[in-house]
């Protein structure tokens, strides 16, 4: 077993530990590494980063950080942040895209927001499903008005049924709403088949949470194989696949599957996280590929940051070296 396979579960468990959060967020040097992955804590910083990213020819998906809320007021606060953000983002959206609920649109939308239903109240002990649905509905309506897309992130497997059901309900009013599927879940091949019909927008990622072997493939080789199977289904389907991976093998496979299926550059897109494989992002843009950057901002960066450490031991090593040198 690779050392990273041993470290990953521990880091992902720490990502959900309030005690670890209190410790890690107090270490001054953490901030330097967080800045690599997160645009900043304020909306102004997110908008400034958006200007740079769109200016480079890439598209954007902005996430207001936060997850696992069990407080109604906090969930409403998250909605307010998205509404303010979307109003600021409308300056970047393409003319002619506003107020159209039709899908597919005449062209790809350059601006998108991503949201986590657990930040919108999905885990509330009473009416969680209903509150998250209503909150997400408000954000989707504001995004339509701003001319932006919305995609719903995937969280741990206990939320998948609820998330897909909320997405299904929202898509009745907002047909362009996208959602994320995680290739490491054993159910996802079937979900890809169900959700690859006309008008669907599926972001396929490998999956970033600590999941048991009963529901998820374990180890890189099995997850990569599952990703390729799911990718093929989406590329052969009638929707708009969003290939969220930094893995050169997945990116190359996406290009090959798309070509084999006769998809033009407008009929799928590649996606990467802010701060990861930047040079490769620019190379793909130079090749006229659609490439969207997922850009998180906000104060609740801890869980997101720990998942990035878990993905790559080199990030953890860098973090520990920085700590040692302080
Ligand atoms: P893999 O982990 O095999 O990495 C391939 C290569 O990419 C590495 O060798 C390295 O070069 C580089 N790399 C990957 N991660 C890195 C890191 N943290 N730091 C530096 N380099 C790194 N997950 C989820 O569960 N729910 C979700 O909603 C989303 N949403 C999402 C959106 C987008 C746009 C992306 C790109 C990813 C997600 N993810 C996600 C995260 C995803 O599940 C997965 O954990 C990461 O993308 C890492 O997997 P890769 O496919 O990049 O491959």
**108-156: per-residue pLDDT in tens?**
899 999 999 999 999 998 899 999 999 999 999 999 999 999 999 999 9
Identify the DSSP state of 154: P
Residue nearest to atom 6 of ligand 1 (CA): 247
- Tell me what pLDDT residue 96 has: 39
Are the beta carbons of 49 and 62 closer than 8 angstroms?
no
pTM of the model: 0.93
246 lines ligand 1 (CB under 6 A): yes
pLDDT (tens digit per residue) in 36-81: 899 999 999 999 999 999 999 999 999 999 988 989 999 999 999 9
Q: Of the candidates 233, 213, 238, which has an alpha carbon nearest to the alpha carbon of residue 223?
A: 213
- Tell me what pLDDT residue 148 has: 96
Least confident of 7-21, 165-179, 283-297: 7-21
Domain ranges within the chain, ordered by starting residue: 39-300
* Residue corresponding to tokens 């070509």: 259
Burial of 74: CB neighbours in 10 Å, binned 0-12, 13-18, 19+: middle
273 lines ligand 1 (CB under 6 A): yes
Q: What is the ipTM of this complex?
A: 0.97
- In angstroms, the Cα distances linking 100 to 153, 209, 234 are 23, 35, 25
At 285 the three-state DSSP class reads helix
pLDDT (tens digit per residue) in 269-317: 999 999 999 999 999 999 999 999 999 999 999 989 888 988 887 887 7
Are the beta carbons of 155 and 211 closer than 8 angstroms?
no
Question: Each residue of 271-288: b (16+ CB within 10 Å) or e?
Answer: bbbbbbbeeebeebbeee
The CATH number of 39-300 is 3.20.20.220
Which atom of ligand 1 is nearest the CA belonging to 224? 3
228 lines ligand 1 (CB under 6 A): no
């Amino acid at each position: 077993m690779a050392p990273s396979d041993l470290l990953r579960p521990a880091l992902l468990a720490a990502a959900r530990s309030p005690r670890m959060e209190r410790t890690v967020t107090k270490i001054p040097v953490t901030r330097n590494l967080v800045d690599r992955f997160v645009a900043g804590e304020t909306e102004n910083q997110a908008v400034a980063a958006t200007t740079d990213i769109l200016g480079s020819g890439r598209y954007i998906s902005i996430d207001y950080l936060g997850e696992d809320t069990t407080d109604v007021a906090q969930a409403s606060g998250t909605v307010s942040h998205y509404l303010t953000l979307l109003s600021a983002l409308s300056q970047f959206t393409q003319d002619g895209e506003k107020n159209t609920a039709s899908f597919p649109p005449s062209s790809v939308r350059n601006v998108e927001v991503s949201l986590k239903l657990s930040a919108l109240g999905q885990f509330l002990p009473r009416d969680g499903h209903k509150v998250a649905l209503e909150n997400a509905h408000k954000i989707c309506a504001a995004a339509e008005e701003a001319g932006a897309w919305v995609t719903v992130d995937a969280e741990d497997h206990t939320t998948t049924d609820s998330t897909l059901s909320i997405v299904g309900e929202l898509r009745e009013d907002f047909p362009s709403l996208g959602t994320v599927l995680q290739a490491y879940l054993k159910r996802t091949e079937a979900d890809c088949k169900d959700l690859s019909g006309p008008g669907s927008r599926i972001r396929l990622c490998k999956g970033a949470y600590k999941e048991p072997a009963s529901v998820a493939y374990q180890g890189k080789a099995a997850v990569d194989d599952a990703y390729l199977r799911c990718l093929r289904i989406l590329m052969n389907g009638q929707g708009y696949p969003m290939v969220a991976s930094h893995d050169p093998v997945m990116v190359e496979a996406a290009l090959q599957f798309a070509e084999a299926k006769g998809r033009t550059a407008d009929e799928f897109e590649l996606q990467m996280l802010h701060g990861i494989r930047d040079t490769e992002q620019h190379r793909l843009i130079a090749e006229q590929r659609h490439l969207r950057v997922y850009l998180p901002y906000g104060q609740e960066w801890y869980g997101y940051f720990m998942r990035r450490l878990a993905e790559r031991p080199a990030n953890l090593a860098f973090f520990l070296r920085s700590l040692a040198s302080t």
